C-alpha cells in the first residue's frame, strides 16, 4: 500500500484554500477601509472644534484654510481624503480620494460629513 495523497485530494484542498483566501481578502479590504474612514472622522472632529472656536471668537464660520487644522483640500500623498468646510453652515465634508492621495481606491468613492451640531452623515460607504 502506498502512502501519500492523490491528485484529486490535493486539488480539492487547493480549491478550499483558494475559497477561504478570497473570502478573507474581501473582509480584510473592508476592515482596512473602515480604518481609513476613521481618519476622516478624526479630522472632521478637529475641523468642527475649530469651527466652533472660530464662530465663538468672530461670529462666523471659516473654510478649511482659515481654521489652522492640518486638513488637505485636495488629494495629497499623506491622506486618504480631501476636506472642505461650508463657511455658511460650518458643516465639513471629507471626500474619499479616488485618484492621487494615499492608496487611492478607484472603486470606492464616498463622503463623510460632520455638521456643527456633531451629527455625522455622508454618502454610502464605510
Question: What predicted TM-score, i.e. pTM, was given to this entire model?
Answer: 0.78
Tens digit of each residue's pLDDT (9 = 90 or more) over 10-61: 999 999 999 999 988 888 888 888 888 898 999 999 999 999 999 999 999 9
CATH class of the structural domain 7-122: alpha beta
Residue 111 and residue 107: Cα distance in Å, rounded?
Answer: 13
H-type alpha helices, the chain: 7-58
Rounded to an integer, the average pLDDT of 3-11 is 88
Rounded to an integer, the average pLDDT of 104-121 is 85
Residue 86 confidence (pLDDT): 93
Domain ranges in the chain are: 7-122
Grid coordinates belonging to 31: 476592515
Q: How many CA atoms lie within 13 A of 33 on its CB side?
A: 20
Residue 126 confidence (pLDDT): 66
Residue 3 confidence (pLDDT): 81
Tell me the Ramachandran region of residue 86: left when phi exceeds 0, alpha when psi lies from -120 to 50, beta otherwise.
Answer: beta
Residue 47 confidence (pLDDT): 95
Task: Name the residue among 126, 112, 109 with its Cα closest to residue 33.
Answer: 126
Residue 60 confidence (pLDDT): 92
Tens digit of each residue's pLDDT (9 = 90 or more) over 47-105: 999 999 999 999 999 999 889 888 999 988 888 899 999 999 999 999 998 887 777 76
Residue 56 confidence (pLDDT): 93
Residue 1 confidence (pLDDT): 63
Amino acid at each position: 500500500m502506498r502512502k501519500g495523497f492523490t491528485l484529486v485530494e490535493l486539488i480539492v484542498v487547493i480549491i478550499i484554500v483558494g475559497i477561504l483566501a478570497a473570502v478573507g481578502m474581501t473582509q480584510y479590504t473592508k476592515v482596512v477601509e473602515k480604518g481609513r474612514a476613521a481618519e476622516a472622522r478624526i479630522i472632521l472632529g478637529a475641523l468642527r472644534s475649530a469651527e466652533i472656536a472660530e464662530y465663538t471668537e468672530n461670529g462666523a464660520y471659516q473654510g478649511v484654510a482659515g481654521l489652522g487644522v492640518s486638513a488637505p483640500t485636495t488629494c495629497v500623498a499623506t491622506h486618504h481624503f480631501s476636506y472642505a468646510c461650508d463657511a455658511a453652515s460650518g458643516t465639513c465634508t471629507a471626500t474619499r480620494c479616488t485618484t492621487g492621495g494615499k492608496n487611492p481606491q478607484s472603486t470606492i468613492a464616498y463622503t463623510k460629513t460632520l455638521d456643527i451640531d456633531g451629527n455625522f452623515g455622508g454618502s454610502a460607504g464605510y
